Structures are given as C-alpha cells and as structure tokens.
Structure 1
Amino acid sequence: MNQSKIAYIAFDTVPAPKGAAIHIAAFSIALAAAFDNIQLVTVSPKATRLDFYEIYPQVIQTTLPAIGDTLIQRVLYFRRLLMTWLQGRRFEVIQIRSIYEGFLIALNKQKYCDRLIFEVNGLPSIELKYRYPAVAEDRELLHKLHCQEQICLKAADLIVTPSSITGEYLQNRGIDANKIRVIPNGVDLNIFTSYLKIKDYQTHPFALENSLNPQKILQIIYFGTLSSWQGVNLAVEALALINREFPACLTLIGQARDYQIKAIKQLALKLGVADKLNLLSAMSQTQLLEHIHTCDLILAPLTPNDRNLVQGCCPLKILEGMATGIPVIASDLPVVRELGEDGVHFLLVKPGSAKSIKDAVLHLQNDPKLATQLAVNARQRIEEYYTWQRAGEALTNVYTELGIKRSIKV
C-alpha cells in the first residue's frame, strides 16, 4: 500500500453515536476519496491498540487506548502512545481537532509534517467546565489550556471551523482571519430521509385533522448530549407547561452520566411529568431516525452561555432535525440563525425560556400548515447547503489550497 501523505488525528472514539465521530468519519471519507490513503488515528474503545484497521475505503485507522481514571490521565496516556506511533513517520499534512492530540505535534511541527491543519470545533478552556464544573474555578488549569490552544492555533497553517461565530472568536484571540476557513457541519441524506418523502405530503403529523384533537398525545423529541448547556432541563420544564394545555410526551435520546439522568428524572417527577418522559441511550443514526419519524416536533433548546454565544458551534442536531421532515423549534442564538431563517426553516424561541418553547409548540399546534411548510423548507435548505458531501468538498479545497495534489483516478 502507498505511503499515506495525510494523517487525521483525533482524541475521539470512531465509530460512535456522537456528533464528533460522525464528523470525523465524514471528513475521513472525503479526504480518502480525494487523496487516496489517509491515516486516521483515534481513541480505542478498548484498552488495546488496533493497528491498521481499515474501517472505510482508503482510510487506514489506528486506534490507541486512552487509559486512566481522569481526563488528564487518559490524555497523557494517549499522547505517549501517539508519540510512539509518530516515530519514523512524516506527513505532508496532519489534521488535528484539539490540544489533547495536537499540542505535542504543534510543538514539533517540522518533525512530523509540512503543513498542520487545526480543526476547531470546541476549545477545552471554554468547554471543559461544562463537563467538570470545578474546572471553572481552576484558573491555573484554564490558563494552561488557553496557552496550549494558542500554540496549536499559531502553529497551524490553516484553521477549519464549522461556524463563523467561532471564526470571530478566534480572531479575537489574535488569529489572522486569512488563516480561518468556515466549513459547516453536514447531514448524510442517505440516512436522514425526510418523513415528507416517505409519506404523502398531507399525512404529515401536523396536517392530520386529529392533530388538533385534545386527546391526541403530541410527541416531542430531543436528541444529543443530555447536558445542561444543551437546554435539556428547559425541554422538561416546557413539557410540564405544554401538558397544562394538552397531552404531550417528550423523548430524550443521547449520552449522559448517571448524575445527569438522575437530575432529569428528579426534575420531571417534581414537575409532575415523569410519566410523560422517555429517556433513551445514544443510538445509531438509523435507529435515531426511526424515533424521529414517530414524533411531531424536534426541540433544540440551546442555552445562552459562552459555549454557544462566544465560542460558537454548528449544532448537528438542528441540521439533522431539519433534514427529517419534522418541524424544529430551536433557541434564537447567532449560531442557529447561521443555519436558516426564523419562521421559514424553523421556529426560534427566547433562549432559556420554557414558556417560549411552550408558546412555539402551541403556535404550530394551531397552525399545522406552517408546521408542514417549515419542514418542507428545512429539508430543501439542508439538501442545498448542508450535506457532508458539500462539507467534504470544502475540506479537500483547503488541502489543495495548501498545495496537496489530488489523486489521479483511472
């Protein structure tokens, strides 16, 4: 097999039912299609190393274990193995996603690669406190994280990010705008088929006459990480308010720690909607779509915090929801407004307000034609602007911009 000229290295497990894993897989496939063999290095789901595991055509994947009781221990363990793996290797381009795998590469850039691409989706100096609250008070650790991020940002020849909000934040940290390329996330339309294309246009849940029947139980769904900054608690609070008007159920699908699940259940019990709440673990995209297509509404109640407002993001859950033919209600934040227009592609609500979510649900319940039209418009927008094929083409253009020649297909 020919020597790979590209290494894509990420402190993430792939495959996995997470947005990061989906993103990495899509980008890996796009790079392999354009440049043939690439090396993908990710975290092993086990305590063992798997060498040259071919998980996608022309993508040679190596998974390195990250063992330890704490995140820092796991990162250090992974870094040691990564440095061993890199010995004797050099690439035309290495693409990294975080300081966890990228810091030592950035410090020794000339040893390992000609060009370095830093794919910035999130930065630990902002995000880590949402997973480990005590980090917010540890100024020394936050300073170290920030410094390592700056080293990676400065060393990178180009920076790829999915949101212009993130791009602006990086510029505020002193990064030249000419180094930044915004490539939004995408959707696999072969997986996320539209309900409206499966069913007749008039059989959309909100187009049914009995959808206005008070006895019909409205089915609402949220999918993604079950963390506070995603607004999961708001979804539960809105569920309680909606049930004062008419019957409704809420399904939450995603990864969560035990304490998060316990808190959600306690909140639902306190608000009297425990029997209206269905909690499901993260699942494959195909299984997820089956659940989505049984629902009437998708919620994405992102909260107004520095993770969403300052750092920025490109919410994959909203893009995937828009592709399904089910109307989406989301928080009115700049990162969401990047993806579409309020009242055309989704309904936007006041961030942090359960009442606003309830009011939006009532709005669609009373205007089924609007609900259906939102779903139709959203699907069309995804097909035109937000596919992984489009994102992959943009990424390969970044590589050709750096002088990497595409493979000649016979």
Structure 2
Amino acid sequence: MSQTHKKNARSKQLLYLGNQLSRKGRNLSTVEVLSGLLETEGYTVVSGSSRKNPAFRLLDMLYKVIKHRPQTDLLLIDTYSTSAFWYAYVISRLACVLKLDYIPILHGGNLPQRLKTHSKRCRHLFGRAKVNVAPSAWLMHHFQKAGYTNLTHIPNSIALEHYEFRQRQPLMPRLLWVRAFAQIYNPLLTLKTLQELLHTHPEASLSMVGPFKDESIDECRAYAEAHQLPVTFTGGMSKSAWIKYAADFDIFINTTNVDNMPVSVLEAMALGLPVVSTNVGGIPFLLEDEVDALLVDPGNAGDFTKAILKLLQDPDLARQLSITARQKVEHFDWQVVKGKWNAVISGER
C-alpha cells in the first residue's frame, strides 16, 4: 500500500455492525474477523454487537449508530436472510435519516427469496446503499436479476498463513462437520450418512463442531444414541482450536440445505481436507464437482455415502481434489482480497 493510501485509510473511521457472539458460544462471525483485518489496513473500526438477547442487540446497534455518527465515515452492515435481515433493515433506515453512507455485506443464503417476498423493504435497504458487497457470484447473479446495479463482488477471505496444507494419505473414513446446529444446515443428514457408511467401514467416525442454535442438537443426540453412532459433539470452538482439531480428520462434509459462501468450507479446502457438499445456493458457484470437491443433491444420505466411498476407493481422485481446492482457495487469501476492500471503502470500485 502506498504512503498516500495509508494516510487516507487511517483518516477513515468505520462502524461495522453484526453479531459478535463467539464469546457467547456461537461461531466466529464475519464482523469479528473482518474488523480485525481492516484494522491491520490502517482503518479505525468500531464494531458491535455482542448482546445475546436479540432485542437488546438491535438496540445496542442503533445506539452505536447514533453515538458514533459524528466520527463515522462509513457504516458496514452484515446482512442475513432470516430474522437478522430486520436488523440490517432497521439500521439502514436510521442511517438514511442520519445521512450516513452504508454498505450491506450480503451473507444470507435465503436472500434471493427475501428479494421476492419483501421487495419494497429490500429496495429501501439495498437500493439506497452506497454499494452492496456480495461475497459470492451466486448472490451477485440474483441481485443483478432483481435489478440492482450498486453491487460489487468481494469474496469471503481467510488469512491463508494460518492454514497448513496437508494431504491425507492414506485417506480414512474420519469425517468432520463444522457448522452451527440449525435446521437449515441439516446436521441430522450427517448422522444418517455416518450410519450408512458404517455398513462398509465399521471403523468410520464423525465429529460435529459448532454451537447449538436450535433443537436440532437434541434431535441429533437422540438419533446418535438410538443408533449407537461413533460421533462426538464438541460444541463451538475458537477458530484456532478447530483448525488444530481438524488435523485428526480426513474428509469434510457440508450437508446444508441453504448456503451462500461458507467460510468453513474455504478453511477445509485450505487445510487439504477433501470436501463433500450439497450443491445448494452459492456452493456450485464456489465448487466444481469432481474438480475441487464432490457435490451431491441435498437431503440424500445415500448420495453422500456414495461420494465418500468414491474418495476412499480412489485415492488419486481425493489427492487431486485436495490439491485443486487449495489452489482455488489461494484466491481468497486476505492478501489478495484486501485491495478490493480498500477500493470500496475509498469509493474507487
């Protein structure tokens, strides 16, 4: 970065709002990761909120907008598609009243549906934004289709230096799943896949890493106990802890019914874990079947099991998927992506 750009960056203060709940047992969120990365670029970043209660969290976010408005040059808003959509909507309305430029960062896998069901409110939120940042080409496509032009594509990023690439040889049926326990991510399918895999590979095992968001964890525990499955439920882990933990596993599975551009999948690719994933939402825009992952239809344990068996029976395929996936994820390294953020924040996109 040039000295001139560094000076301009340090003069910018950003307010970044999202769910900072990793200390409350949730996964590390984008606002928690990206805030720190932006600070390394010289920006002053105020962020929030860590309030666990949804109503108090929204009030805290609104308070921060009002409190920090005089010093804030730009507001960043993590924008999801379920209940958290309304946080972004209400915050954006306040930003308009206060004449504060804002940028929604689009994360929700169900945002394309939200564009249809709440088109007027979406126009208020996304149409009046300085720019909308889409981490996936999939969301870019759907927003363009809906008529939005104030868009830019900046992929989710990881600091690749923290991810040691290692190929699994020989590949073993040690499965890893990393996601929050929520129905939309279909964690039960992971257990049904393990159950089928045990018929041919009785040594198979599974670990499911992630915080417990809804009753799906109770359903999974009950199913695992009823069928005596060799599975571990770790709960939430810090990023550094699960990266270290992943060294003991050989295949990463992503069973979700709704998805955009999951960072956990990028991390698995960076670590050298062959990925088997559903082909929903933004996944086919991120992964190519039999090139850098194996993709299957959602909701089918039989298809997942066949894909895992394919990896186990064809070590050359597993090795090539792992290598190609690592090469792809290098394009998502922060050292590559940060230039796009600097351009957006400075208004040069």
2:330 is the alignment partner of 1:376? no
Aligned position for 2:4: none
Look up the equivalent residue of 2:234 and give its one-letter code.
L
Of the three residues 197, 217, 220, the one matched with 1:242 is 197
Task: Tell me the alpha carbon deviations over residues 343-384 of structure 1, each in whole angstroms, 9 at most, x when there is no partner.
Answer: 12111122221001111111111112221221122112212x
2:182 is the alignment partner of 1:227? yes
**How much has 1:161 moved relative to structure 2?**
1.2
2:148 is the alignment partner of 1:186? no
Look up the equivalent residue of 1:249 and give its one-letter code.
S
1: distance between equivalents of 2:220 and 2:269?
26
Aligned position for 2:59: 77
2: distance between equivalents of 1:81 and 1:400?
25
SS in 2 for 1:235: helix
Mapped contact 1:226–1:232 kept (Cα < 8 A): yes
**How much has 1:4 moved relative to structure 2?**
5.2
Mapped contact 1:105–1:112 kept (Cα < 8 A): no
Task: Tell me the alpha carbon deviations over residues 142-162 of structure 1, each in whole angstroms, 9 at most, x when there is no partner.
Answer: 97x765443221221111011
Look up the equivalent residue of 1:180 and give its one-letter code.
L
2:35 is the alignment partner of 1:28? yes
2: distance between equivalents of 1:395 and 1:147?
28
Aligned position for 2:269: 322
2: distance between equivalents of 1:222 and 1:323?
15
2:222 is the alignment partner of 1:266? yes
Task: Tell me the alpha carbon deviations over residues 93-121 of structure 1, each in whole angstroms, 9 at most, x when there is no partner.
Answer: 222223525634444437353x3222121
Summarize the Cα distance change of 1:228–1:127 in structure 2 as closer, same or farther, 3 Å threshold.
Answer: farther
Summarize the Cα distance change of 1:392–1:30 in structure 2 as closer, same or farther, 3 Å threshold.
Answer: farther
Identity of aligned residues (%): 20
SS in 2 for 1:97: strand
Look up the equivalent residue of 1:82 and give its one-letter code.
K
1: distance between equivalents of 2:254 and 2:201?
21
2: distance between equivalents of 1:366 and 1:14?
41
Mapped contact 1:327–1:346 kept (Cα < 8 A): yes
SS in 2 for 1:187: coil
Of the three residues 256, 272, 290, the one matched with 1:343 is 290
Aligned position for 2:103: 117
Mapped contact 1:161–1:182 kept (Cα < 8 A): yes
2:48 is the alignment partner of 1:94? no
Aligned position for 1:103: 90
**How much has 1:281 moved relative to structure 2?**
1.1
**How much has 1:91 moved relative to structure 2?**
3.1
2: distance between equivalents of 1:151 and 1:107?
11
- TM-score, L = length of structure 1: 0.72
Look up the equivalent residue of 2:142 and give its one-letter code.
Y
Q: How many residues align?
A: 332
Q: Which has the larger radius of gyration?
A: 1
Aligned position for 2:208: 252
SS in 2 for 1:323: helix
Aligned position for 1:13: 20
**How much has 1:25 moved relative to structure 2?**
4.0
**How much has 1:298 moved relative to structure 2?**
0.7
2: distance between equivalents of 1:235 and 1:391?
32
2: distance between equivalents of 1:86 and 1:80?
10
**How much has 1:264 moved relative to structure 2?**
0.4
Q: How does 1:279-298 map to 2 (within 5 A)?
A: 279-298=233-252
**How much has 1:28 moved relative to structure 2?**
2.6
SS in 2 for 1:338: helix
Of the three residues 362, 367, 370, the one matched with 2:309 is 362
2:49 is the alignment partner of 1:43? yes
Look up the equivalent residue of 1:7 and give its one-letter code.
L
Of the three residues 132, 148, 151, the one matched with 1:175 is 148
Gaps of 5+ in 2: 1-8, 80-85
Aligned position for 1:391: 337
1: distance between equivalents of 2:292 and 2:166?
15
Task: Tell me the alpha carbon deviations over residues 234-277 of structure 1, each in whole angstroms, 9 at most, x when there is no partner.
Answer: 1111111111111211110001146322110112234x243x11
